[in-house]
Structure 1
Amino acid sequence: MPDDVAETPTDELAVVHLKAPCPKCGGAVVVGDRAYESECGWRVWRNILTHDISQAEMEEILRDGESRVIDDFESPKSGKEFSARLKLAASAAADAEADEDAPKRTLELVFVDRPVQSVGSCPKCKSNVVLRAGNYFCEQNTRKGADGEAVTPKCDFVLWGEVSGKSLPEGAVKDLLAGKQTKMLKGFKSRSSGKAFDAALKLTPAGKIDFVFQEKTKKKA
């Protein structure tokens, strides 16, 4: 490289800034490994109660004052998921006048009452089956008690939201929980051969999913 050409440090090339300014100083907010932060000292941790705050969510908070409803926060006490918005704390813009050693609360939770809806009854214990992290669990199938301590699940029933590479439509899940066979579904993929196939689904007496294949019609001679 010629002597008169300055080499740009790799770290500078990797710096990413949000498209919204810092609420404290109006400067740029840098996307760090663990936090969104400004050179003035304003900072928000990227993970809050097991939810990773995306760049789009953080920009929305800085732009509008709060995020949309986020559904996957997890209580550190009970281990249960809950819904809430993330909102800029009222003191966020006034931090410049605060004691540097005082704790800084940059975001606060706005709780949202969004009841969990049942998609059907558990074929094993007749409790409600609810959607949790993309899969359908009996509400008795939990490994955390009300106090957050580990417990033995009272029921082990679960329907995985994806079967052989295909996401199950909620209508098919409801049919299965009602003891019905689903209609023919397209887009499954064989684990062994990788080939696509169509099949209907039904639940076995043990609560497992079984494929039902369409019989091929024999050609008349």
Structure 2
Amino acid sequence: MNGNLNCPVCNQGELIEGANGYLCNHFKSMDDKCSFRIFKTYFGKNMTDDIVKQLCDNKETVFFDDFVNKDNKPFGAKLTIVDGYIKPQFDNQEQIKLQSECPKCGKGVVVTNKAFACEDYFNDKACDLYIGKKIAEVELSNDDAETLLNGNSTDYRTDFISNNGKEFGAKLSLDENYHLKFDFEILKCPKCKTGNVSSNNKAYGCSNYRDENIKCDFTIWREVSGNKIMLNDLIDLCNGKKTGVKLFKPKDADQYKAQFQLNNEYKLDIVKVS
């Protein structure tokens, strides 16, 4: 570093470069000293002379998108001096915080480019709450994060993508260790009454189809006669109701309007409407 830099915290000392970083040299007594320091690296990024000068001149740096945390997960932030310590600020304009507190430690939860994380997550990982924004190719919204932080499950959705590229349906919630988990149940099976109905990329089916004692065959294909069976349709059907009116377009006949309903054997019937 060419030239001396004034300490941005006490404004009385200068920063002296050492083996581990830069340390303020202001010391008159144990009651009149400055302990401000800038370490050589933060979150995997080396502090160049230019970055150190930014901190000393402006008490913050420009926004960087190549930081990594202790789990080697990338994140974007700028470094700022807060209460004499260097901390990350996660938005290049203004730090965004969720309304909900961290359920693990009670601190605030910040929104980064990659995740929703406790503000202490990046403070030597004092709290390890970290919810990735992208789960199985689905982007979680701030509202989803608020739902999870309040101990609730997100809405069931069918556009998650598995490792082999297939769609599946699930809700998300936090387990007892505040880690994300999938909940595949939509509702109880109307046929066997004990299994859970879940979804894959082709159909809705009962979890008891593999049970040797029950072997429940309840299945509703997600597309029937050119019409998609949506999640709200499934819920109506399982609750003994008809679906909304849909338009059917057979190849060799006139188009018509009809509804789906389950018969006494829990198979789909098509009921025409006038």
Q: Larger % of strand: which?
A: 2
Q: Which fold has the larger relative contact order, with Cα–Cα distance below 8 Å and residues 6 or more apart in sequence?
A: 1
